């Protein structure tokens, strides 16, 4: 017999473990600089304003929303 632990047949896909933004441990922290910069670009293209005081989670959701309306982002 072997003392080696058998390798799992398949490695879990990290994307399957992605939590929704509202469940992030840091989701209630202020949005990051890169998030806000990207939001400004997307919002300008969409003719929208970026609300002040965004959290990381809300900024991520808004990015997803604006990406769907942006010609710069190819739908997948």
Residue 62 burial (C-beta neighbours within 10 Å; 0-12, 13-18, 19+): buried
How does pLDDT run across 55-72, given as a tens digit for each residue? 999 999 999 999 987 766
Pairwise CA distance, residues 70 & 62, whole Å:
12
pLDDT level of residue 24 (50, 70, 90 thresholds):
confident
pLDDT level of residue 1 (50, 70, 90 thresholds):
low
How does pLDDT run across 29-56, given as a tens digit for each residue? 999 999 999 999 999 988 999 999 999 9
Section 11-32 average pLDDT: 75
């Amino acid at each position: 017999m072997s003392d080696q632990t058998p390798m799992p047949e398949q490695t879990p896909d990290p994307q399957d473990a992605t939590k929704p933004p509202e469940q992030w441990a840091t989701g209630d922290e202020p949005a990051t600089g890169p998030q806000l910069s990207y939001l400004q670009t997307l919002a300008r293209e969409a003719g929208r304003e970026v609300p002040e005081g965004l959290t990381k989670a809300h900024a991520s959701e808004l990015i997803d929303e604006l990406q769907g309306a942006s010609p710069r982002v190819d739908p997948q």
